[in-house]
């Protein structure tokens, strides 16, 4: 099973693209359906000293240019190929102490627009979708709009482009969040359309347990499940938890040279 894993990191720093997939890679991070920036920590082992120093130099050189600090993580299996796990921006890079030759990256979604200031005024009324399209443009994201398109009166906003996602959620009374290269806007009690996936022992279920708000599910990595997805839980050991759930949070623990290749889902019931 370990040999069938695929894990790849693409780093674009100061207009230089570097791709890593044959070295030892560890990826840990969390995504959730809120305005909080998703944070991932990525470690690549046995990078040559010359390349490591070049990366650290590029990180230093782009301190004031967050748009030039892109990082992408892909994972999968040999049979199915790669799928995108994370797209974000490098906040910092740290080398390891000898004898290891590691370099670790702390990465966040939306960091490239966090300090961009926007000023908007929508006139007397504006549709929620029009506002969402404007926010997607300001944050350089692709809009996925699955909310009821209501009319919003006297919409104005001045501040961080990233913080406008929170304003969008508040005025529309919707679930609005950035995931990788997408701005997702949907009803709070609804899963994203056409995302239902059966989670059972046959599809990689390892553990299911109740929480105060719903359920926590540990599974092998599966690219079919994302934040906002619907899962149909089918547990043989904890049958009272079986049924439909909406995924609100995913914690990833992925390694291509060790035993971890898991996702932990937190989910709640929809309407």
pLDDT digits (tens, 9 = 90+) for 95-151: 987 777 899 999 999 999 999 999 988 677 899 999 999 999 999 999 999 999 999
| Model pLDDT, residue 258 | 80
CB burial of 100-117 (b: ≥16 within 10 Å; e: otherwise) equals ebbbebebbbbbbbbebe
Report the 3 state secondary structure along 258-271: CCCEEEEEEEECCC
Tracing tokens 């740290």 back to the chain, one arrives at 94
Calculate what percentage of the chain has a pLDDT beyond 90. Answer: 79
- Of 104, 130, 116, 113, the closest CA to residue 40 belongs to 104
| Model pLDDT, residue 236 | 92
pTM score, whole prediction: 0.94
Which carries the bigger pLDDT value, residue 80 or residue 191? 191
Total residue count of the chain as it appears in this document: 271
| Model pLDDT, residue 1 | 47
Query: How confident is the prediction for the chain on average, in pLDDT?
Result: 93
Q: Residue 3 pLDDT > 80, yes or no? A: no
Neighbouring-strand partners of residue 247: 267
Judge contact between 136 and 110, C-beta under 8 A: no
In the chain, beta strands by DSSP E = 5-13, 16-20, 24-32, 39-45, 69-77, 81-95, 102-108, 117-121, 125-127, 142-146, 151-153, 156-160, 175-179, 182-186, 197-199, 205-210, 215-220, 230-233, 243-255, 261-268
- Of 45, 151, 58, the closest CA to residue 100 belongs to 45
Helix (H, G, I), strand (E, B) or coil at 164: helix
Q: Residue 2 pLDDT > 80, yes or no? A: no
pLDDT digits (tens, 9 = 90+) for 38-96: 999 999 998 888 888 999 999 888 888 878 899 999 999 998 899 999 999 999 999 98
């Amino acid at each position: 099973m370990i040999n069938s894993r695929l894990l790849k990191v693409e780093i674009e720093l100061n207009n230089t693209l570097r791709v890593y997939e044959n070295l030892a890679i560890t990826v840990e991070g969390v995504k959730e359906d809120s305005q909080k920036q998703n944070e991932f920590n990525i470690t690549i082992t046995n990078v040559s000293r010359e390349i490591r120093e070049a990366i650290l130099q590029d990180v230093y050189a782009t301190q004031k240019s967050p748009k030039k600090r892109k990082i992408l993580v892909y994972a999968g299996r040999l049979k199915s190929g790669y799928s995108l796990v994370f797209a974000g921006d490098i906040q910092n890079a740290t080398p390891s102490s000898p004898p290891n030759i590691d370099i670790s990256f702390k990465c966040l979604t939306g960091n490239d627009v966090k300090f961009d200031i926007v000023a908007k005024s929508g006139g007397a009324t504006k549709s929620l979708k029009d506002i969402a399209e404007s926010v997607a443009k300001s944050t350089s994201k692709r809009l996925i709009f699955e909310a009821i398109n209501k009319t919003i009166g006297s919409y104005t906003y001045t501040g961080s482009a990233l913080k406008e996602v929170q304003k969008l959620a508040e005025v529309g009374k919707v679930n609005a969040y950035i995931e990788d290269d997408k701005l997702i806007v949907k009803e709070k009690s609804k899963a994203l359309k056409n995302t239902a996936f059966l989670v059972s022992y046959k599809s990689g279920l390892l553990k299911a347990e109740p929480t105060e708000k719903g359920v926590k599910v540990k599974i092998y990595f599966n690219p079919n499940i994302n934040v906002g997805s619907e899962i149909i839980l089918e547990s043989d050991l904890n049958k009272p938890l079986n049924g439909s759930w909406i995924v609100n949070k995913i914690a990833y623990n992925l390694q291509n040279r060790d035993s971890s290749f898991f996702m932990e889902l937190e989910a709640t019931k929809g309407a």
